[in-house]
Structure 1
């Protein structure tokens, strides 16, 4: 029996989810974020072996926390309703975790669409800007895309999983930094492969840009030094939907002050190194879509 549970968070994407569910190996937990399109019932009818948890509200990325808590395996792989892990990858990831006890999160190579093009996130991580520590199975990273991540369940729980306040879009960066701050290693492992079939129709890009910019600023304010927070605020102002994002982040000031916790010096140094790499590469994160910006979270 596999040591990995696949957790899928979904909302109102019944058809995409039904198309992808039979491609998952091992136990699967679907957490439905209050869908109104019959997702939960459809999954129960077609896939009786899949555990379905129906939330009465949209918890965003934190729905994955619910699935991870219910899992009874030592490792949890996340998937979107339009993605799946390549055959054999989950067992291979479990073996890598067992061989590398400091590893708290492994992130896979992402292949996009029917053409199987390499996602820019994966291309950036392969450049290895943080080096490859001998106690990790690949280049060290300080970020990931959730649909391509497998976590050690204990490590994930230790840091509280995805922060509910960030909801969706860019929620991974805070979790990555908190795992590193707790002493866990994060690594890019290109032999692990995720297939992603993203749909663009029905997406509210204005809302997405606003949430991305808000979350980027909140993440900086929660963990980074004041000069970085100021620079991020300026970048947010210039970003699409940036002024609205600044107002959104400002409403969270009290929460930020209560939960602000600076990164340990080695983790901040690594994050700062990535910031410099960003600028030298000429890629400004505030104007890039999340798929490209994730490169700079390597």
Structure 2
């Protein structure tokens, strides 16, 4: 089957997580073997032999490599800009599909909704698969999407700027969501596709990268205010989120979080000229319209556990 027959590209970014990646690739092998699917993996400077072992064990996969680590967002941009198919499914290296026939469901939804630029999936976070997988949730248009599991209509990708690689990690999804909204594209949540993100969320705070994750999460939120929000709304938003961090973390003696907050404030000050230069501000009408949309559906729990 020629390239013109390919319809889906699955993209994955990875770095020094060979076991997780190989587990994922085995789980989605039935998709990788399809004639209408291309898979591209970006090895972001791994030192554990990831690149070489993928070449040996998964010869059909297209591989690109950053000799030196450049970060998640830079790598996603490289992957997205190599895609030649109609749709691109982006998943993390520690995530796999639980639902059957996901590609057929994706294709059918996009066909029914021509203004849909991105679809987000129903995501279960946990080390073990959920014992109950059914849901009564229905598809809904949402404000944003989750980076670990979503699919782009490539026509929409080509109409908006690349992800902001200078964010490094966090915030690129909301950046894309605002850009899509300005162009008239929609983002939808499709709960009929369930994926398993093999992550222990509660343990993250105890992990060594807690400080850097918090720093990047906070600054990306503030970056987005300055890039997209109407000027008059920005001071209130920034001050409120800063107060919440002081109240819930600094006041309780979380010194790691305190350092992360201070660093995030410095990052915003340092990048302020760039934020003004690259802004694509919502009009007041657009701002109120986007506020009416529900937020991204991030965490799903089995209905018998709610």
Map 1:270-285 to 2 at 5 A.
Answer: 270-273=289-292
Map 1:1-298 to 2 at 5 A.
Answer: 3-24=7-28, 25=31, 26-56=37-67, 57-85=69-97, 86-113=99-126, 114-116=128-130, 138-198=139-199, 204-234=209-239, 235-236=241-242, 238-239=244-245, 240=257, 241-273=260-292
SS of residue in 1 equivalent to 2:177:
helix
SS of residue in 1 equivalent to 2:282:
coil
Q: CA RMSD in A?
A: 2.6
Q: Is the alpha carbon distance of 1:49 and 1:160 closer, same or farther for their aligned partners in structure 2, counting shifts above 3 Å?
A: same
What is the deviation of 1:266?
4.3
SS of residue in 2 equivalent to 1:76:
strand
Residues 46-95 of structure 1, C-alpha deviation per residue, up to 9 Å, x if partnerless?
A: 11111111013323223112212212210001000101233311221022
Q: What is the distance in 2 between the residues matched to 1:291 and 1:101?
A: 24
Q: What is the distance in 2 between the residues matched to 1:37 and 1:169?
A: 25
SS of residue in 1 equivalent to 2:199:
coil
Give the unaligned 5+ runs of structure 1. Answer: 129-137, 279-289, 293-298
**Higher radius of gyration, 1 or 2:** 2
The match for 1:132 is: none
| Contact 2:145–2:187 (Cα < 8 Å) also in 1 | no
Q: What is the distance in 2 between the residues matched to 1:87 and 1:41?
A: 31
Q: What is the distance in 2 between the residues matched to 1:162 and 1:236?
A: 25
Q: Is the alpha carbon distance of 1:27 and 1:168 closer, same or farther for their aligned partners in structure 2, counting shifts above 3 Å?
A: same
What is the deviation of 1:22?
2.3
Q: What is the distance in 2 between the residues matched to 1:72 and 1:249?
A: 36
SS of residue in 1 equivalent to 2:9:
strand
Q: Is the alpha carbon distance of 1:48 and 1:64 closer, same or farther for their aligned partners in structure 2, counting shifts above 3 Å?
A: same
Q: What is the distance in 2 between the residues matched to 1:102 and 1:18?
A: 35
What is the deviation of 1:183?
0.6
Residues 197-256 of structure 1, C-alpha deviation per residue, up to 9 Å, x if partnerless?
A: 125576511110000001000011100023432233221365232221011111101101
Q: What is the distance in 2 between the residues matched to 1:117 and 1:141?
A: 27
Residues 152-179 of structure 1, C-alpha deviation per residue, up to 9 Å, x if partnerless?
A: 0121122123221211123211111111
| Contact 1:9–1:32 (Cα < 8 Å) also in 2 | yes
Q: What is the distance in 2 between the residues matched to 1:264 and 1:104?
A: 21
SS of residue in 1 equivalent to 2:142:
coil
